[in-house]
Amino acid sequence: MPKSNRPIKPTPAELNLLRVLWELGPATVKQVHLAVQVDRPEATYATVLRQLQLMHAKGLLRRDESERSHVYAAAQKKNALQTNLLKELINKAFAGSGKALVLAALRGHVTQEERAEIRQILHGEDQ
């Protein structure tokens, strides 16, 4: 487990494995490897195993060692990690302004369908 109280910032490769685990739920290395191979057929079992072990050591994953095949699970819920990463991005890139982040996202990173959905949310029509 990490020694500091600061949130752990996963690398892009670690985020990819976290996405797999959030989708699968707790899973063995074999299950994670099979899921990873859908998008990355060159990924080897040994590479996935090593990355999961490193992520466990960093505190990004929990590991159940009660069975022969260890079962890995994300240590944080998806929303919690995304919120922490977003806070860091807002502070670093947008001087702490959530408004600046939203405006930057709306300038070319949002489809028309997404804009319509955002309008509904802003007008309270999603409830």
pLDDT digits (tens, 9 = 90+) for 36-91: 999 999 999 999 999 999 999 999 999 999 988 999 999 999 898 888 888 888 98
pLDDT digits (tens, 9 = 90+) for 28-48: 999 999 999 999 999 999 999
Q: What is the pTM assigned to this prediction? A: 0.72
Q: Please report, as a single letter, which amino acid is at residue 127.
A: Q
